[in-house]
Copies of this chain bind each other. A is one copy, B any other.
Amino acid sequence: MKVFIVHAHPERQSLNGALTDIAVDTLTGAGHEVRVSDLYAMRWNPTVAAEDFGPEASSPLDVVHDSGRAYESGALSADIRAEQEKLWWADTVILQFPLWWYTMPAILKGWVDRVFTYGFGYGVGEHNETRYGDRFGEGALQGKRAMLSVTVGGPESHYSDRGINGPIDDLLYPIQHGILYHPGMEVLPPFVLYRTVRMSPEVFADAAEQWKKRLLTLEDTTPVPYRPQNGGDYEIPAARLREGLEGAGRRGFGLHVRG
């Protein structure tokens, strides 16, 4: 495999740092190629701005279309092009981050905001009577796989079906489905560790073993069965799930997972 890890934590000597180190060692030890974007070490700029789009950026700025034109013409700033090139190179993408305010840290959100430009991350393909662009199962990153590795400060019960924060699968849906599946990547079930603010050495050792197992079985892991947008399950262009397709009791985000 060619694995691209995007790592987003301000302290390299942290649980997130340890998980990325384990991933690099385990995967290279198994003969895979690995590249890492350590966003803090790179001093990644998370803020979309006109400077991203080269001298041809319009005024007033039009983020959607300016990013698309700059992507097409090669005028995107060098830091963005470098990240897109790593995504082209990879067959497997891992995002490693702590859950901050129920989603990714700003530095990683800004990696998505800037790298997933129009024409690359979205705005790909035709819109006609049977398809609404190449997205959700199709797109520039089709054929690749992605996985989240997330550390959560609180206890698992708070993220359970009846937990006050909502189910972890729902919290991760906008990332897994909305960001990763959107440009065509298959999404593997996430690796989530809870109660990480007070993790004992014994609990860490067990977590490290679980993580290694996940890494060594990446190629055999079944992706989350999200529904392809253009495969017939949705009315087009409304992009509404057709009646009667959902499993019993499914609602909300869960509708968009088959079975």
Contact = CB atoms under 8 A, between A and B. Distances in A.
A13 interface: yes
A252 B251 CA distance: 8
Which residue of A11, A60, A256 has the most chain B CB atoms within 10 A of its CB atom?
Answer: A11
A12 B251 CA distance: 38
B116 A164 contact: no
A83 interface: no
Interface string A186-213: 0000000000010000000000000000
A110 interface: yes
B101 A112 contact: yes
Interface stretch (A42-50, A74-82, A84-92, A138-146): A42-50
Nearest to A60: B13
Interface stretch (A30-38, A173-181, A217-225): A173-181
Given A10-B48, A50-B10, A174 B166 contact: yes
Given A11-B61, A239-B163, A253 B170 contact: yes
A100 B254 CA distance: 21
Contacts of A170: 170, 173, 252-253
Nearest to A167: B252
Given A103-B109, A106-B112, 12 more contacts: A10-B49, A10-B61, A40-B47, A46-B107, A101-B179, A110-B110, A155-B237, A155-B238, A158-B238, A162-B255, A167-B252, A249-B251
A96 interface: no
17 contacts: A10-B47, A10-B50, A11-B63, A14-B61, A40-B47, A47-B106, A103-B109, A105-B109, A106-B107, A110-B110, A157-B239, A160-B240, A161-B251, A162-B255, A164-B229, A166-B174, A252-B254
This chain: copies in complex: 2
A240 B162 CA distance: 5
A40 to B, nearest CB: 8
Given A164-B229, A255-B162, A106 B103 contact: no
Interface of A: 10-14, 40, 46-50, 60-64, 100-107, 109-110, 112-113, 116, 136, 153, 155, 157-158, 160-167, 170-171, 173-174, 177-179, 197, 229, 234, 237-241, 243, 249, 251-256
Nearest to A158: B239
Given A110-B46, A157-B238, A251 B251 contact: yes
A70 to B, nearest CB: 14
